[in-house]
């Protein structure tokens, strides 16, 4: 583990989201299972955090617990970032790592949050950060600390400061909502009495593409989450559906019926430059760009039943990707391009599967039976998907090894169509 010997000063800022507060309750997490290995860590209370409405240590602990790979060591200690650390004592308590910090109220109303992370086994400091945070951004500050802990102890970027988008339905109202990755701070981006489906984050995290039926037909829109402005990307004859962003954010893959059967097209994000990508006498739909942007995965019935294929963005012959079972849909590619998540129907159950694209090995990840709409976390280690709980739509998260699961529910209405946002710069 690397010893970081300096203090990095970070001024926390956030994209201003022009949303209305969500009227329904926040998402609630239910956790089952743990990771293959767990890292024992102690989070000492940050002196001064009681002056903030949001307590840093509670949020950090909740983040790490939801990851499934940390074992939180109970303690009632309050240690500041300037405290002397007794490494042997913390080892005896069972902690391999220790996080300490402090919160100080500044004259301008901001908070100065300081944090340090220690390796108690190697008796060394792993990280030291300081954050100048506005009161309303204290949750984000805590998520950033949890992200740093996750990365320093696993070598993998944390995803606690990312956001998710999803669709809720309550009565006759549909809402496109955006929330923190822990389900807190949900805000409404769009309300409609007509269905909203297939939200998809732009790579820079400032926009969401989606399909709305407010024109009494499916039309593809892009909504800017900062300005709240939106534009129509695809409103051709027939159905316009299933938008997916290219990795560089300049284009969308969409499924259109403008020329007959549903086929895959590529279109610029401003609605220009439409180009047909597939040309069959069947149904080609649910396109998703590969991680490198060089190809598009999609669902097609050209073999007699729905299977997943891949085609170059320049066109040409498509290659079949899934071969097990007679019904495989909804391809989603991991950020590193090595894993394909999809929904398969096996023995009458619609469940989440993962296919290793390097060796063809397949693994079932869910134990529910009405799954849909998988979406990878930006670090590639978790997959969010929609399912049902008590005859109501809910969301679930599973680690890519299938060991750790979470269920996200609301007390009012159905929740569906999740999409996990990117890392924010």
Both 234 and 145 in a single domain?
A: no
For range 150-163, the mean pLDDT: 97
Quote the domain boundaries for residue 102: 37-154
The CATH number for 139's domain is 3.40.50.10070
Residues 128 and 229 in one domain: no
Residues 170 and 305 in one domain: yes
Q: Pairing state of beta strands 405-409 and 124-133?
A: unpaired
Which pLDDT value is given to residue 33? Answer: 63
Predicted pLDDT of residue 22:
55
**List of E strands, 301-404:** 307-312, 319-320, 328-333, 339-346, 349-356, 362-364, 372-376, 382-389, 392-399
Q: Is the pLDDT of residue 390 over 90?
A: no
Q: How many domains does the chain have?
A: 2
- Give the domain CATH number at 394: 2.120.10.30
**CB contact set of 150 (below 8 Å; sequence gap of 6+):** 64, 67, 156, 157, 158, 159, 160
Residue 19, pLDDT > 80, answer no
Distance CA 39, CA 389 (A): 31
Selected residue with higher pLDDT from 283 and 389: 283
**211 and 340 share one domain:** yes
Query: Model pTM greater than 0.85?
Result: yes
Q: What is the pLDDT of residues 196-237, one digit of tens each?
A: 999 999 999 999 999 999 999 999 999 999 999 999 999 999
Of the residues 154, 179, 195, the one at which a domain ends: 154
Same domain, 177 and 68: no
Q: Considering only 30-39, 49-58, 178-187, 210-219, which range has the smallest mean pLDDT? A: 30-39
6 occurs within a structural domain: no
Q: Does residue 222 share a domain with residue 116?
A: no
């Amino acid at each position: 583990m690397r010893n970081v010997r300096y203090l990095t000063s970070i001024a926390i800022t956030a994209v201003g989201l022009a949303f209305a507060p969500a009227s329904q309750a926040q998402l609630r997490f239910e956790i089952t299972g743990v990771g293959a290995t767990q890292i024992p860590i102690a989070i000492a209370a940050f002196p001064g955090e009681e002056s903030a409405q949001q307590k840093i240590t509670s949020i950090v602990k909740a983040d790490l617990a939801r990851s499934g790979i940390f074992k939180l060591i109970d303690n009632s200690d309050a240690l500041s970032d300037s405290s002397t650390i007794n490494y042997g004592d913390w080892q005896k308590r069972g902690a391999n790592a220790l996080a300490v910090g402090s919160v100080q109220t500044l004259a301008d109303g901001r908070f100065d949050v300081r944090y340090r992370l220690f390796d108690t086994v190697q008796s060394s400091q792993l990280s030291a950060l300081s954050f100048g945070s506005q009161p309303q951004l204290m949750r984000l500050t805590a998520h950033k600390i949890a992200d740093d802990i996750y990365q320093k102890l696993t070598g993998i970027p944390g995803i606690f400061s990312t956001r998710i988008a999803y669709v809720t339905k309550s009565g006759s109202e549909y809402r496109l909502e955006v929330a923190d990755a822990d389900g807190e701070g949900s805000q409404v981006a769009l309300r409609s009495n007509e269905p909203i489906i297939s939200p998809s984050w732009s790579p820079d995290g400032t926009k969401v593409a989606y399909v709305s039926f407010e024109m009494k037909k499916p039309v593809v829109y892009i909504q800017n989450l900062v300005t709240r402005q939106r534009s129509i990307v695809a409103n051709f004859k027939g159905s316009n559906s299933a938008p997916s962003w290219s990795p560089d954010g300049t284009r969308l893959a969409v499924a259109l019926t403008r020329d007959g059967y549903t086929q895959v097209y590529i279109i610029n994000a401003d609605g220009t430059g439409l180009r047909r990508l597939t040309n069959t006498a069947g149904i080609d739909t649910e396109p998703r760009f590969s991680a490198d942007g060089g190809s598009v995965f999609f669902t097609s019935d050209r073999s007699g039943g729905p299977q997943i294929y891949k085609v170059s963005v320049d066109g040409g012959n498509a290659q079949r990707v899934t071969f097990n079972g007679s019904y495989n849909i909804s391809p989603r590619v991991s950020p590193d391009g090595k894993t394909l998540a999809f929904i398969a129907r096996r023995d009458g159950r619609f469940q989440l599967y993962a296919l290793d694209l390097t060796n063809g090995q397949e693994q079932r990840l869910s134990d529910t039976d009405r799954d849909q709409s998988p979406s990878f976390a930006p670090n590639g280690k978790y997959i969010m998907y929609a399912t049902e709980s008590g005859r109501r739509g809910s969301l679930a998260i599973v680690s890519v090894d299938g060991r750790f699961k979470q269920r996200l529910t609301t007390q009012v209405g159905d929740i569906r169509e999740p999409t996990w946002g990117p890392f924010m710069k």
